Amino acid sequence: MLLRSSVDVLSLKLNRKLCSCIWLDTLTSLRWDRGQDFCPSRSRGHQSTGEQGGSIYSYGPYPQLSPSSESLLAEKMIQCVQAMLYLSVLVAFAACNAPPVPLDDILIEKTFVPEQCVRAVKVGDYVRYHYNGMFPDGKKFDSSYDRGSTYNVFVGKKQLIAGMDKALVGMCVNERSLIKIPPHLAYGKQGYGDIIPPDSILHFDVLLLDVWNPEDGVQSNTYHTPSTCSRKVEVSDYVRYHYNGTLLDGTLFDSSHTRLRTYDTYVGIGWLIAGMDQGLLGMCVGEKRIITMPPSLGYGENGDGSDIPGQASLVFDVVLLDLHNPRDGITVTNQILPESCTRKTVAGDFVRYHYNGSLLDGTFFDSSYSRNRTYDTYVGRGYVIAGMDEGLIGVCVGEKRTVTIPPHLGYGEEGTGSKIPGSAVLVFDIHIIDFHNPSDKTEITITHKPEECDKQTKKGDFVKYHYNASLMDGSSIDSTYNYAKTYNIVLGANQVVPGMEDGLMDMCVGEKRHLVIPPHLGYGERGVTDEVPGSAVLVFDIELVEMEEGLPEGYMFIWNDEVSPDLFTEMDTDNNKQVEPSEFTDYIMRQVNEGKGRLAPGFDPYRIIDNMFSNQDRDGDGKITEAEFKLKADEAPHDEL
């Protein structure tokens, strides 16, 4: 508040004295009707008594007057009030034009105080502030706003007028104050040219924007720490981070978030301003911290020429998303091994595996599970990124592991579209479903062998067997036990996958085997829709239940006895020198039923007989003549008599 002027004080004194004098003068000039003197010193409530005509009178500070005295007193009071009003007007006019009373010291009125004081000014600090300079009557003589730049100066080093040097100490960033400085702490009796007259009181409306000290270094304040931190930023590491950059007063000058792209750089090798180079060291992926730096470690005296003024402190709100070093290789963690592992992958193997892919900060980018299909590839042949090629070597079927891949072994500086940014570290959680090598053959393990084994299966035999079929990860495919019947085939007739043909050879009735069949001997790259995935290794547990010996290779029918020398005549029952299809069929079936001949087992007998007839009907007219009719031994090999 401004001090009262001497005129204000004088007017108060005059008003009081004038009223007192007029009041007392009026009272003392009056005569009492009852002959009593008035004692103005008597206090209210104090009582005196007098006797007149037997009456007792009480006296207070106000006497009881006669009617004539009351009229006179009223007239005097009116004159008193008029005089007071007139004098008050004169005093007020004089007060408005009187010079202010000189101040003994600065006066500070804080017009805005921030909720938090980021930093308060100390002697020796360097400050940046805006101001409006005014005289007490409100006339402006200077303004930093008009120049479009803050006033920047050291505090307490006599670079300012003494009053401002003193007033700035203790101010907080974003604090606003009205500072009133007396002449002897401003420009004194000399004034300042034509701008500030001698003996001028100066008012400054000051907004403090920045403060730092030449001895300041980088200040880091971590406000979020991830639950795990396996690695911290070191010199020469490459990092990816998001940031908001502000001045010390909170003014935003830049943000990676607005560009929807991280800032990617090496740390500690001079690619960044010195303060950021220092502030990023020791951070963990997922950590959030505030990095504050003085201009000497930021953009210095000149700023960046755009949004960052010279001599500005900088504040960066940083979240670290990724880090790696160019010397990094892949890392394998979180291994879960199966109870048994008889084989591990090598270069050239074909692998089927599931994976979840994420960035180092946990951001998901892809999953084979979401497609409900494994990822199938050769390893060690460059079919996948180098890091995955390496991470899939030496794994067991059923194994789970986490493979962390630096960008130079992943998708490099370019990334892949919108999902994987450039220079991103990749994390794959993988589960090995199966693998094989193109050179693999059917793996046969005998789990039970009967004590007696007179005959072993061979090509052409008709066999009946049970099986349980599954994938390498244990997923069930099918089982004959579910249907309570055997699976029946002729070996060598391409009625099952080649791997099963191999597994059923040379078996005894009652024997049990465990078969592992690679996909090129199973259902290949396509698999069986909704049953067997493409390129899947198959596992069969089989038991041979029954077998019937087949015919020699190339034969569909054989004679158990000697062949009749008059075979054609026996078939030609109507003696027309031609054998009709019905005659041919009836004859062969009669030989089989009488035990004189045998058809190849496992096939439809009538289809076999039709095939045999077609082979004998050489001109295709639907009839066999004696000239066409020949035995197997009489001609080149083919499936006939």
Catalytic residue numbers read 131, 141-142, 161, 187, 204
Spatial separation of the C-alpha atoms in residues 406 and 425, rounded to whole Å: 5
Per-residue buried b or exposed e for 292-325, using 16+ beta carbons within 10 Å of the residue's own CB: bbbbbbbbeeebbeeebbbbbbbbbbbbbbbbbe
What is the CB neighbour count within 10 angstroms for residue 181? 25
Spatial separation of the C-alpha atoms in residues 163 and 182, rounded to whole Å: 8
> Under the phi-then-psi rule, with left for phi > 0, alpha for psi from -120 to 50, and beta for the rest, what region is 514?
beta
Spatial separation of the C-alpha atoms in residues 493 and 553, rounded to whole Å: 11
Is the four-CA dihedral 637, 638, 639, 641 of positive or negative sign?
Answer: negative
What is the CB neighbour count within 10 angstroms for residue 208? 25
Spatial separation of the C-alpha atoms in residues 128 and 210, rounded to whole Å: 5
How far apart, in Å, are the Cα atoms of 349 and each of 164, 260, 337, 400, 403?
80, 41, 19, 18, 19
* Contacts for 152 with CB less than 8 Å, ≥ 6 apart: 126, 127, 128, 310, 311
Contact 105, 185 (CB under 8 A): yes
Beta-sheet pairing, 288-293 with 364-367: unpaired
